[in-house]
């Protein structure tokens, strides 16, 4: 009977140790990022994804202020894919605009720009009036945006152009 009792006590002690180890493991995952000593991922100028380490407090300030640093390689890879897709969209916009330049002060000139993305309807809304100086991506017609969203999808265009 004593032997069984001792085994039970050992089992309980082992379970306590396992529980403490799991508690520590999960609390480490929830620590604030970034901290000195943490690794982060950036997209290099030629498109390569590189791992770096935070060495000083200034690195942390830069990471928090920047959209260029990512906590994981997967996040950096997804960001690079959005950048490349955005460039494809812009290239198609330029090609379809065929040298056309928006005259923002000319209210009679037709011009269209992405306005917002409706998640419920999965639809990108195109602004066809009141296109302003703050509009980054302007097409000479609604049909151009229809072609672009047909090729890439409303959500992808919205995400890549920062309309979401």
Each residue's pLDDT, cut to its tens digit, for the chain (164 residues) gives 677 777 777 788 877 777 777 776 666 555 687 888 888 899 988 889 999 888 888 878 888 887 788 999 999 999 999 999 999 999 999 999 999 999 988 888 889 999 888 888 888 888 776 677 677 899 999 999 999 999 999 999 999 998 87
- Domains of the chain: total: 3
User: Do residue 100 and residue 151 come from a single domain?
Assistant: yes
Domain of residue 86 covers: 82-160
What distance lies between CA 148 and its chain's CA centroid?
A: 21
Residue 76 maps to a domain: no
User: Do residue 87 and residue 156 come from a single domain?
Assistant: yes
User: Do residue 105 and residue 52 come from a single domain?
Assistant: no
User: Do residue 38 and residue 5 come from a single domain?
Assistant: no
Beta strands in the chain (DSSP E): 39-43, 49-53, 69-70, 113-118, 123-127
Handedness of CA 88, 91, 65, 54 (dihedral sign): positive
Taking the model in full, what pTM does it have?
0.69
Residue 154 maps to a domain: yes
């Amino acid at each position: 009977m004593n032997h069984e009792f001792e085994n039970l006590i050992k089992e309980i002690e082992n379970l306590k140790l396992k529980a403490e180890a799991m508690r520590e493991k999960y609390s480490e995952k929830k620590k604030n990022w970034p901290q000195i000593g943490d690794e982060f991922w950036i997209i290099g100028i030629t498109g390569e994804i590189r791992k770096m380490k935070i060495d000083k407090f200034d690195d942390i300030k830069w990471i928090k202020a920047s959209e260029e640093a990512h906590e994981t390689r997967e996040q950096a890879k997804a960001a690079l894919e959005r950048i490349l897709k955005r460039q494809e969209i812009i290239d198609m916009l330029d090609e379809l605009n065929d040298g056309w330049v928006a005259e923002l002060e000319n209210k009679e000139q037709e011009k269209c720009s992405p306005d917002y993305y409706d998640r419920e309807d999965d639809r990108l809304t195109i602004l066809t009036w009141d296109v302003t100086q703050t509009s980054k991506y302007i097409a000479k017609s609604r049909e151009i945006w229809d072609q672009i969203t047909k090729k890439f999808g409303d959500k992808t265009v919205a995400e890549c152009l920062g309309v979401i």
